[in-house]
Structure 1
Amino acid sequence: MSYMIMFRGVSRFLRTNPVSGQRSMSQSSLVGKVAIVTASTDGIGLAAAQALGKRGAHVVVSSRRQANVDKAVALLQSQSIIVTGTTCNVGKGEDREKLVQLTVDQCGGIDILVSNAAVNPFFGNILDSTEDVWDKILSVNVKSAFLLTKLVVPHMEKRGGGNIIFVSSVAGYQPMQALGPYSVSKTALLGLTKALAPELAHGNIRVNCVAPGIIKTRFSSALWQNKDVADEFKKQLSIKRIGEPEEIGGTIAFLCSDEASYITGETIAVTGGMSCRL
């Protein structure tokens, strides 16, 4: 059978069975799902929690400070989102275990992990960075993302599958000046995504990554609050503005939905058109 004949047959089938050619809108719903989002009281993490919560997920938010957790929980509750909050320093093993156990105890299981926590204690020439700087950055930005994944996978398997999302950065593709060690840690997350995806697919767990560009958050304020610096970045963009956290949150929610059910091992660059390649 030629491709043209096959195409005509498919087209005729879709015309006579229009519902078969469309996904039900309900498939984007996350009702009944439980989502852990780390570093989720501000910026991209909070936007991810909002996006998942607005689609019906029970979100578990966390950060290192109780006051920030309380503020985020109150905000999400005011938006009719089902939310649980706790303090968590993802760099500490006992905190990671507490986060997972609390989620299982209070929410009944885990379906989604958004690993968003990251630190950058260094700004300058990469050759001036110290061993302590590298230990801190790699421990929080890479190692803790992997170890938290190890903790949640058994709980996802009990639920019949799940989604893991790592938050990388455009700097993972194109290291930014003065952010060398941080950029390298974000490149590592691209590799971690590729390494985990085939191993977890048999358990119906999808592993994907989001690489934001310059987004208007407190964490990246040094890159966009200075007009001259921001204007230089905008020259590299097709969409001539700084991104909003909600634009990353929406991408994360999509990757966790049934509409992305055939996507795993991928990194989606949400950069306004900034070039991304390794």
Structure 2
Amino acid sequence: MLDYYLKTISMRDVNVIVHDQQNQGVSAARNNGIALAKSNYIALLDADDEWHPEHIGKMTTLIEKYPRLPVYTCKHEVCENGYSFTPPQIFSSELTTMGLIDNYFVRAGKYELVNSSKVVLYKPIFESVGGFPIGAKLCEDLYLWARLAEVGCFAFTDYLGVTVHQEKDMSRKARNYSQPYILEYYFNVSGSINSELHGYLWTVYRNHLRLSILNGNLSEFISRWKFGSYYFKPKSYLIFLYALIPKKIMNIFKVIRRFLLR
């Protein structure tokens, strides 16, 4: 596939550098790619996702209006099992086509404002927080967005610039029983965490417990529940009720939600 791609683009006026390395995980691959990049602004794209034709142009306009911010983002759509839908993505209380995300942690607890196919990173700030965490298997991206949100504001455009393809793949099995790295990190941070960040971490915890139930993996659910139960008590005891909901019922709710968003 790579040979075919290189042969195709060689016929066009496109400068592409391919860097080959041993598999060291997604964080190492992203960090090395960003280190090799010559620009201070880095646009990421996962292998199975798509940029829309005007994506880079729209992000360039956003950068020109709000230079040197940690993160730039846009809207995305999801394609799953042949169906496409655009999940809610409300970046700001102001009705504007571009601007700054107000209170990232509160909004990110409700909407997927940033992901690794629509984000543009400002390299100096990315490097200042240490980049993606090497060795992390789960939520390494959510960890990075959180660290960057602690540094400064994120800029957004409401342009729909990316299609995210959600398909089952074998790499997900390698993450079974892994704890979300963002929780591992902040559980061990000395000092207090503000209420907005704490609320966001609770959402991440709750969502991964629900995912374990949807996957029919009760032992993984129990492992993840135990991991965060002390930090999130007493709410964590109430969420244990997820384990009592049959997988079929959870899947029905998921299908209904997808249908309503189409």
Decide: shared fold, TM above 0.5: no
- So what's the TM-score if we normalise by structure 1? 0.30
1 or 2 for the larger relative contact order (CA 8 Å, sep ≥6)?
Answer: 2
- So what's the TM-score if we normalise by structure 2? 0.32
Larger helix proportion of the pair = 1
